[in-house]
Amino acid sequence: MAGPMFLCLPLMFFVTATEGKSDVSVVQSPRFQQAIKGESITINCEITFTQGNLLGTRFEKDSSSQVDLCYVSAKTKHIAEQYKNRLECDIGKEDGKAINITFSNLQVNDSGAYFCIAGVKNGRLLDVTGKGTFLIVSDPNSQSNGEDNVKISCFKDPLLITMIILAVVGLLSTIVLLLWNTRNHSQHKKSTLMQVPNLVYEDMNLVRTQSTA
């Protein structure tokens, strides 16, 4: 069971969502969750904003799916047909600013990244996404299948791919900078060594001139 946990841990350091410069934020927890097939988990989403109206909160798997597993507002609640027997989306506060999602009877193919997306109307419509919850579901009787699903989930989300690319670019930039600094240091050291014989030669000429005089 420990195997799948480490397959995507390096990527979790880069999992984040763009929230812009608005005064709206979505705090989602937990950020990482591991479960065994058949178990249940709960994901909490807290929405905060200083002005405007909360229209509702969507819960999606993977930022590119555009398919709502559930939608909750102060007046309505909708759960996708294929998840009605396994998903509960409840308002934790009367103002609708807290959503509790309970995911039961988990299957290996449920592994992936899940996001809470709050719709707030503040002069204009804002969709603010939480930083996500990465779920890994393992099947003790078929460990390899769990690992394969985790690998697929890790690399099919554009957000994760973007973060990986940025991390690689940052690493390469750091290496180039270090090599550049090392090269400059070597050139400076070489230039300094070349100046030393010249100084000795000039001193010898000065002594020879003084002796002749």
- Model pLDDT for residues 111-136, shown as the tens digit of each residue: 999 999 999 887 788 888 899 999 99
The domain boundary, picked from 129, 156, 183, lies at 156
Is there a single domain that holds both residue 37 and residue 142?
yes
Q: What is the pTM of this model?
A: 0.60
Domain containing 19: what range?
2-156
pLDDT, mean over the chain: 75
CATH number of the domain that 14 lies in? Answer: 2.60.40.10
Task: Count the residues in the chain.
Answer: 213
pLDDT on residue 117? 92
Residue 60 structure tokens: 């999606």
Residue 134 structure tokens: 């990465």
Q: Classify residue 110 by its DSSP letter.
A: G
Is there a single domain that holds both residue 109 and residue 188?
no
Of the chain, the percentage scoring pLDDT greater than 90 comes to 31
User: Which of 2, 185, 5 has the alpha carbon at shortest distance from 111?
Assistant: 5
Q: Classify residue 78 by its DSSP letter.
A: E
The upper half-sphere exposure of residue 155, i.e. CA atoms within 13 Å in the direction of its Cβ, equals: 6
Is there a single domain that holds both residue 25 and residue 78?
yes
Residue 51's Cβ-count burial label (10 Å; 0-12, 13-18, 19+) is exposed
pLDDT at 19 over 50: no
pLDDT at 75 over 60: yes
The total number of structural domains that make up the chain: 2
Distance CA 76, CA 59 (A): 14
